[in-house]
């Protein structure tokens, strides 16, 4: 019987989803919001200092 | 209300409130960015679902092919004859060519998927870097302002020695 060699693709041929984009995007969203919160807190701190100075100088 | 301690306190509170406007705006901007990132992550999850659907279709196709091969082999055995340059032999060649093209296309698509994953990951790190720099700048500003207010407090304390 003739031996006809066939092309054999890999057994696990298929697309594997990549979670890198999804996970890094969600994680960075949380981190960015926290960093913006930190920035906001620093701005509030300036406001508190201004208030303190005004009250101190005025009294 | 006559001018007095209450007035001074109100002025201070007004100044504090003015700064809180910027603080709330910054927080809101951060939350909107977070929401946008969740939307984008949802889009990537949808893409992964589509990749999985395509992958399942490929596996189904391969299963069909294996079934056809088995049946073909059985038919050949039953016939008890070798392959001629027609019929089954040509089918096998066509089948190999199709499988080869499919394997190439799948490999290329997998490469694009992985490439996109790394690109998005790189961009998210850059975004986090920008946000961290913003927070650092705000902390610097607060620190610089603290020096200024410390000076005023100190000057006020010194002045209090001389004011009767």
Distance between CA atoms of residues B81 and B88, nearest Å: 11
Neighbours of A59 (CB within 10 A): 11
Stretch 16-45 of chain A: residues touching chain B, C-beta under 8 Å = 16-45
How many residue pairs from chains A and B have C-beta atoms closer than 8 A?
Answer: 226
Distance to chain B for A23, nearest Cα, Å: 7
Give, as one character, the DSSP assignment of residue B4. Answer: S
Q: Which residues of A touch B31 (CB under 8 A)?
A: 33, 36
- Per-residue pLDDT averaged across B35-61, rounded? 81
How far, CA to CA in Å, does B18 sit from each of B12, B28, B139, B140?
Answer: 10, 16, 18, 19
Nearest chain B alpha carbon to A14: B55
Question: The tokens of B45 are what?
Answer: 């999850």
Whole-complex ipTM: 0.78
Top-confidence residue, B85 or B151: B151
How far is it, in rounded angstroms, from Cα B163 to Cα B39? 61
Mean pLDDT along residues B76-98: 64
Residue B86 has pLDDT above 60, yes or no: no
Of all residues in chain A, the one with the smallest CA distance to B133 is: A35
Name the minimum distance, in Å, from the CA of B1 to any CA of chain A.
16
pLDDT of residue B87: 58
Model pLDDT, residue A6: 66
Q: Tell me the two tokens of residue B11.
A: 């002025």
Minimal Cα distance from B113: which residue of A? A18
Q: Is B57 on the interface with A (CB under 8 A)?
A: no
pLDDT score, position B79: 64
The answer to whether residue B73 scores a pLDDT higher than 60 is: yes
* Residue in B120, B109, B115 with CA at minimum distance from that of residue B41: B120
Q: Are residues A1 and B55, on separate chains, in Cβ contact within 8 Å?
A: no
B139 touches chain A (CB under 8 A): yes
Q: Render B92-125 in DSSP notation, one character per residue.
A: HHHHHHHHHHHHHHHHHHHHHHHHHHHHHHHHHH
Contact A56, B150 (CB under 8 A): no
Contact B107, B88 (CB under 8 A): no
Closest residue in B to A44 (Cα) is: B20
pLDDT, tens only, A1-59: 555 566 677 777 777 888 888 888 889 888 998 999 989 898 888 888 888 888 877 77
pLDDT score of B116: 84
What is the per-residue pLDDT across B1-41, written as a single tens digit (0 to 9) for each? Answer: 567 777 777 777 777 778 778 878 888 788 888 878 888 88
Give the other-Cβ count within 10 Å of B43's Cβ. Answer: 13
Let me know if A47 is exposed, middle or buried by CB neighbors in 10 A (0-12, 13-18, 19+): buried
């Amino acid at each position: 019987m003739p031996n006809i060699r066939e092309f054999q693709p890999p057994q696990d041929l298929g697309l594997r989803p990549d979670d890198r984009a999804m996970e890094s995007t969600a994680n960075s969203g949380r981190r960015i919001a926290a960093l913006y919160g930190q920035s906001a807190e620093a701005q509030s701190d300036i406001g508190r200092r201004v208030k303190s100075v005004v009250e101190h100088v005025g009294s | 209300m006559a001018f007095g301690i209450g007035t001074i306190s109100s002025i201070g509170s007004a100044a504090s409130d003015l700064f809180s406007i910027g603080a709330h705006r910054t927080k809101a901007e951060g939350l909107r960015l977070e929401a946008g990132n969740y939307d984008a992550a949802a889009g990537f999850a949808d893409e992964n679902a589509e990749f999985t659907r395509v992958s399942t279709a490929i596996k189904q196709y391969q299963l069909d092919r294996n079934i056809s091969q088995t049946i073909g082999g059985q038919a050949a055995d039953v016939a008890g004859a070798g392959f001629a340059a027609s019929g089954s032999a040509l089918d096998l060649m066509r089948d190999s060519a199709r499988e080869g093209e499919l394997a190439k296309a799948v490999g290329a698509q997998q490469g694009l998927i992985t490439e996109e994953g790394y690109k998005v990951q790189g961009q998210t790190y850059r975004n986090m870097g920008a946000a961290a720099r913003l927070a650092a700048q705000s902390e610097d500003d607060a620190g610089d302002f603290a020096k200024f207010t410390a000076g005023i407090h100190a000057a006020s304390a010194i002045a209090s020695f001389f004011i009767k």
